[in-house]
Each structure stands twice: as C-alpha cells, then as structure tokens.
Amino acid sequence: MAGILSIQFEPILNKMDENLEKIQRIIDNFMETNVDKKPVDLLVLPEFFTTGVSHKYVENPVSPEGGKPIELMANVAKKYNTNIAAGTVITKEGEKLYNTMFVLNREGKTVVKYRKIHLFKYFGGTENERITPGDEILVANLDFARVGLSICFDIKYPLHYRKLMQKGAEIIVSPSAWAFLKSINGQKELNSRIFRCLSITRANENLVYFVTSNQCGNAGILGSTGDSMIISPNAEILADAKDSECAIYANIDLELVRTLKNTTPMAFEE
C-alpha cells in the first residue's frame, strides 16, 4: 500500500511568494491533522503552481535547477519524508523556456525533470508561442513505485500514456491548469466533464492509478475547473476535490496494478 496526496488550490496571479506560502499552509495543515499517521509516499502539485495561468509566467523564469520553488519543495520532501511531483515552473535553459515538472525524492533531490510535450495552442491558447515543447516521455523510478509523468494538455494524447504504461508506469501524475472562459455560459460544466472523463479513461485504459492536481477558482478572464482526483485502474474515484481548495488523499494498492498488468495483456497490444 502507498499514500498519495494531491493539492488543489487557487493561485494568486503572478505572486510567487504568496502562492508558495499558501501551498505550504495546505500541506502543513494536512500533515498536522493526520492523526492516524497515514503514509504520504507521493505529493502532487498543480501546473503553474507559483504563478497561476498568466502570460507573465515567462517574464521571471527560474534556473534549470528550479530556483526558489523547488528549493522550498525539497525542504518539504525532507521534512515530511515524501516524494514530490512538483507541479510545473517555467525554466530557462539556454535561450529556451520550458514548462517543467520536477520530481523530488524523499531526500529532496531531483530525480527527473519532465518538460511538457503537448503545449496548449488551441481555442486561443498561445503556450506554444512562448514555450519550447519537451521531447522525452519519462517515468520516474521512485522508492515505492514507477511514476509516469504528464502535464495538463498531454491528457488529450492517448499514445503519450500508452508509452508511459509500456515503460512500466504504475502511477501516472497529471499536474494541470485546466481552465475555461468565464464569459461563455456552460464552459465550466463542459470543461469539467471533459477533464473528468479523460482522467478516468487514462487510468482504466492503461491500468494505472491516475493522479490529477489542478487549480481551482479564478484566474482573470479564466476560471479553473478543479476536479483533482485520484483514480484506480478499475476507474474508481478514490478521492475527489471537486471545486474546493483542499488536499485530497488516497491509500492505493500497487499490487492491483501489477496483477492487472499480468492478467490483461490486451492493454499492451498496439
């Protein structure tokens, strides 16, 4: 068994320090009220957790090592003896900007960095005009499980997840900033339904635990749907944040994944 903690919160646009303080409070509150001492083997943060969804995120990128946000998460990892899939921050490497997730082990050391491959360039999105896409599909080999890495709009590309599963992923994380235009009636309900359906499908079709960590609340002209979930390979929603700012937790059974992978060979067929 393993414990998964996913954070959902409403970032303050372009206020890194305030957002880091808010995330620290949410994590500390869960840990301090965890009277049953439930294990936390993996903690997942949302996409753009330091800035929210704003074009200004490109104005103050962090170093390739992650800068202040990843230093703080490294301290959290050590303090609470947990692995962390640290949302995303914008890193500058040479002259290029990347939307980057850092995966940290319990000692606070970076195990792997995943650069978002499928950038949002549809329905008015312009992420591709500012950010360089990554080119490597990655699985983090942590001390308790193999964790496949994806970010937000990657979820629209099923072959990305098939490759993660074929690389041995037992859990797949999806830090997200899944948003909608507040000016269009019905967009929140539509985008929420799409996000939830895709998340459940990616879990079941790849026989993995699927962990989303999304933003919620307002982001200027945008709103975020929330809907962070922890989903079993049997499509069971084990934890659901809905549209609240909160931490959600589930105790997962990795033996279920390993059994299903040995008994459901069609999942590996091309």
pLDDT tens digit string along 141-192? 999 999 999 999 999 999 999 999 999 999 999 999 998 888 888 999 999 9
For residue 108, the SS3 value is coil
Residue type (1 letter), 133 = P
Q: Could you tell me the domains of the chain?
A: 2-261 (3.60.110.10)
Which of 112, 63, 110 has its CA nearest to residue 89? 63
Q: Which of 10, 152, 188, 246 is catalytic?
A: 152
Band of pLDDT at residue 248, cut at 50, 70 and 90: very high
pLDDT tens digit string along 112-143? 999 999 988 765 666 768 889 999 999 999 99
The pTM (predicted TM-score) of the whole model is 0.95
For residue 163, the SS3 value is helix
- Which run of H or of E encompasses 21? helix 16-33
Instruction: Please name the residue that has the structure tokens 């997942």.
Output: 44
CA 179/CA 211 separation, integer angstroms: 18
Per-residue model confidence (pLDDT) at position 118: 95
The residue among 43 and 128 whose pLDDT is bigger is 43
Q: Which of 47, 127, 188, 216 is catalytic?
A: 47
Active site residue 197: no
CA 211/CA 225 separation, integer angstroms: 15
Active site residue 152: yes
Per-residue model confidence (pLDDT) at position 160: 97
Q: Which of 113, 116, 188, 261 is catalytic?
A: 116
Q: How far, in Å, are 142, 166, 172, 209 from residue 119 at the CA level?
A: 26, 23, 18, 24
Active site residue 216: no
Residue type (1 letter), 167 = K
Please check the confidence at residue 22 and state whether its pLDDT lies above 60.
yes
| Sign of the torsion angle spanned by Cα atoms 130, 148, 47, 119 | positive
| DSSP state letter for 106 | T
Q: How far, in Å, are 21, 43, 63, 87, 158 from residue 147 at the CA level?
A: 27, 12, 24, 14, 17
- In this structure, what token pair is assigned to residue 13? 């646009």
Phi, psi of 154 (to 5 degrees): -50, -30
Q: Once rounded to an integer, what is the mean pLDDT over residues 92-104?
A: 95
